[in-house]
A and B are shown apart, each in its own frame.
Chain A
Amino acid sequence: MSARALIHVVDDDASLRESLVDLLRAGGFDAQGYGSTGEFLLESIPDRHGCLLLDVKLPGPSGLELQAALQSRGFTLPIVFLTGHADVPTSVRAMKAGAVDFLEKPVVREKLFEAIENALARDAAARATREVAQRRDARLAALTTREREVFDRIVAGRRNQEIADEYGISLRTVKAYRAQLMDKLGVHTAAELGRLAGGPHDATD
């Protein structure tokens, strides 16, 4: 990770908000406070590694709506909810809104940092996946139409002969496309090819 994580603290209680910001900064994070979800949404949030620390009882847009708004900007942030008392309905609502953790007030420092670290790990993973997908998409975009068709069929598990038959081309031509697209995509084995096609969910490395 290139830069320090940025934690967005959204709480309408100024004291609590400022305290949290101070604590997070003292803990080595960048932290930014917002008085309401509206205020947060109005800011041009940079696409930076980080997470959201959100009071579950905030008036205005809910956590879910917040996520949707961020999504439209091309990224999401994991949310750690703060709650007065973590009853079941509140927890369910929070999970649906994309919570990674709950912190019951009063906030204990260790638990806060632990939750923040978890959320940041989640964010880092999400960011890695997003990068892989983006790289693959960029490579796939370099393929010709016929190369893409052949790629799709290879990934789908078709044999070369079947592909040749399908398009009425020679087996050798199919092999030539295959070598060509593997070269463009930078892979050397069929297994690698398959992993590439497996999508972002499987890309764990």
Chain B
Amino acid sequence: MPTPPAADASASASLKEQLATAAAVTLGAWPGVAARAILAMALCVSSAAVLAAPSRNLLVLYSNSRLLPGIVAVDRGLRDALADHSALPIQLFSEFLDSPQFGGEAHERTIVAYLKSKYSDQPPQALLAVSDAAFVFLVRHRRELFPEAPLLYASVAPSVLREFAASAQDLVGVPVSYDFAGTIEQALRWHPKARRLVIITGTAPRDRGWEARLRREAPPVAGGREIEFWAGLPTATLLQRLAALDDRTVVFTIGYFVDGAGARSNPHEAVARLAKASAAPVYGPLDTFIGTGVVGGRMPSFEAVGRQAGMIVVKLLAGVPPASIERPAPAPTPLHVDWRQVKRFGIDEAAIPADTIVHYREPTFWEQYRLVAIVATAIILLQAGLIGALLLERRRRRTAEVAAQKHRVELAHASRLAVAGELTASIAHEINQPLGAVQISADAADLLLQSDDDRRDDLRRIVTRIRRDSVRASDVIRRLRALLARHEPERLLFDVDVAIREVATLMSAEARRRGVTLDFRSGTSPCNVLGDQTQIQQVLINLALNAMDAAAHLEPDQRVVVITAEEAGGRARVTVRDRGKGIAAEDLPKIFDSFYSTKPHGMGLGLSIARTIVEAHGGRIFAERNTGAGATFTFELPLRAGAKAAAPGTP
């Protein structure tokens, strides 16, 4: 047989299936130079291994290329089993027939010579043939190569074992079986609408073998559906036909080595092309087909096969006679499925058995992040709740604040009314005084006009005075109105000094009425603060009235109330000092509390309101006992330096 074209050798990925499917071993020519080089290297390695450890040697011969995923899986299972179960150190050697790229009589002879020479110094104590080609090779040559070593097998088709039944009688191993019927049965169950089953096979001898087997095994499981064999058709024709199908047809194939046009391929590559082109679901019996577009099928696990073989190796090398080793059943063929195809063909998810091996299922968000999602949702809910509660709380607090603010304004106003009530007599005097003067002046002018003399100068002077006095009267009323007006608190810049001077004017009459000397000592620099001038004046009036009350019982020369206004440490400081009986030490902490009064008829609100006002201006108010007689009340307000006061009429 001629050497296969180079195109075959290059398709290394497509070699996977051949581990399981290669039937005919075709040995080709081994390039002499490369062979010698590899031999030399291998000898060096094995010599070193012998010196290193007195171990049992196991030679594993694989049918195909060493990089085939199936081979890698078998190797992994084998090594796992040896590592887990062997008490002895086992030296593992692996060789590869590289079927079907290499084959033929000459190649086979070369391999025999190579292995004979390579392992002459350290012959293996056991042989393991993986898949059909390697099994056939070793059955043929093991007498010549390693007559002492028992032969084990893994992943060999039962049909091959039957073929060599005579020589395989005493052999132990793990058979592998492709479950055509099970795969077809499952496929038809998932596609209840399907009326037709299409089975695709090729023209190579192995392909024909599969076709024969399928013609036998398919009808019993087709459930009366029409079965159509597309056997030995050219790939182009197949692709065209597949594209025209719909979901009323189910396709089964194991691929092929040669198509109807004689083009060489391999099962994996063939299946990949067919599945890609097909509009109908395609099923196959090899797990390596998963990912090519195949929906799924019942497929043996190569790793499990490797592990089972490993267990047998361990027993054999431990000295258990082959005959007494239990023959394992063919490797199980669990159901595999490609979840993307399940979605594509709308397969009922409930119909997928729980033990199905599902591939390519993107875990749903919920599956992938369930804990995170629960925690995050809980946190978000908690936060939302908290935010909601806080918002509610804030709203309630704002409502309460607005209400409190309104109450403060009303209370302050009521307090001003009360103050005005106290000042009524003196305010009336303040207004009457200029009005009386106006009247008298008018009388005087009247008299002067009646006289014959020219008294024009006197008259002019009198008229000027009348004008001045009427302004004076209306000023008192203006100030009074400002004090009594109910208005929202302002935030304007004003000079504390000016504000207090106005209060002093307003209160001078009251002080005279009470026989109290009001000594107002103003600072030199302007004390600009931000706030409500009327409220601050109210505070001062309160304090001044209190001080005058305290002075009421004193001797006339002791009835002095001193009011100072000055700048102190960045604050405007106003003090009101009297020489009264002062404040008892136990009263001192309480005098600014509401409804606390030491006066017989006091409401106990004046100082409380004063404190509220001062604190609302960012200031503080406090009382002290004088070292001499009486008490001093002080309030301080933060200064707004550099700003020009808006209060007009600053002297």
Contact = CB atoms under 8 A, between A and B. Distances in A.
Interface of A: 13, 15-16, 18-20, 22-23, 25-27, 57, 59, 84, 105-107, 109
B472 A19 contact: no
A23 B440 contact: yes
Contact of B458 (A13, A22, A57, A105): A22
A106 B512 contact: no
Contacts of B469: 15
A111 B460 CA distance: 25
B443 A106 contact: no
B443 A16 contact: no
Contacts of B472: 15
A105 B431 CA distance: 12
Given A13-B433, A16-B433, A19-B436, 13 more contacts: A15-B441, A15-B465, A19-B437, A19-B438, A19-B440, A19-B462, A22-B441, A22-B458, A59-B512, A59-B515, A105-B436, A106-B439, A107-B440
A57 B469 CA distance: 20
B498 to A, nearest CB: 23
Interface of B: 429, 432-441, 443-445, 447-448, 451, 455, 458, 461-462, 465, 468-469, 472, 512-513, 515
A84 B131 CA distance: 134
Contacts of B458: 22, 26
Nearest to A24: B444
A23 B436 CA distance: 12
A59 B515 CA distance: 7
A201 to B, nearest CB: 37
A15 B468 contact: yes
A202 B623 CA distance: 66
Given A19-B440, A22-B444, A23-B440, A106 B465 contact: no
A153 B455 CA distance: 62
Contacts of A18: 437, 465
A16 B437 contact: yes
A22 B465 CA distance: 11
A59 to B, nearest CB: 7
A30 to B, nearest CB: 15
B176 to A, nearest CB: 129
A-B complex: 7 closest residue pairs judged by Cβ atoms: A26-B447, A19-B440, A15-B437, A23-B444, A22-B444, A106-B436, A109-B443
Contacts of B448: 26
Nearest to A15: B437
B432 A84 contact: yes
22 contacts: A13-B433, A15-B433, A15-B465, A15-B468, A16-B433, A16-B440, A18-B465, A19-B437, A19-B438, A19-B440, A19-B465, A20-B440, A22-B458, A23-B440, A23-B441, A23-B444, A26-B451, A26-B455, A59-B512, A84-B429, A106-B435, A107-B440
Contacts of A105: 432-433, 436
Contacts of B465: 15, 18-19
Nearest to A105: B436
B513 A23 contact: no
A26 B429 contact: no
Contact of A23 (B429, B447, B455, B461): B447
Contacts of B445: 26
B444 A15 contact: no
Contacts of A84: 429, 432
Contacts of A23: 440-441, 443-444, 447
Nearest to A84: B429
Contacts of A13: 433, 437
B444 A19 contact: yes
B507 to A, nearest CB: 15
Contacts of A19: 436-438, 440-441, 444, 462, 465
A187 to B, nearest CB: 47
B201 to A, nearest CB: 133
Nearest to A106: B436
A26 B445 CA distance: 8
Given A15-B472, A22-B444, A26-B447, A57 B513 contact: yes
A27 B440 CA distance: 12
Contacts of B455: 26
A22 B462 contact: yes
Nearest to B455: A26
B118 to A, nearest CB: 137
Which of A20, A23, A106 has the most chain B CB within a 10 Å cutoff? A23
A192 B438 CA distance: 55
Contacts of B440: 16, 19-20, 22-23, 106-107, 109
Nearest to A13: B433
Contact of B436 (A16, A25, A26): A16
A100 B428 CA distance: 26
Contacts of B433: 13, 15-16, 105
A57 B439 contact: no
Contacts of A16: 433, 436-437, 440
Which of B440, B441, B443, B462 has the most chain A CB within a 10 Å cutoff? B440
Contacts of A109: 440, 443, 447
B454 to A, nearest CB: 13
A59 B516 CA distance: 10
A32 to B, nearest CB: 15
A107 B439 CA distance: 8
A199 B444 CA distance: 43
B447 A27 contact: yes
A107 B440 CA distance: 7
B423 to A, nearest CB: 14
Nearest to B450: A26
Which of B433, B444, B448, B455 has the most chain A CB within a 10 Å cutoff? B444
B439 A26 contact: no
Contacts of B444: 19, 22-23, 25-26
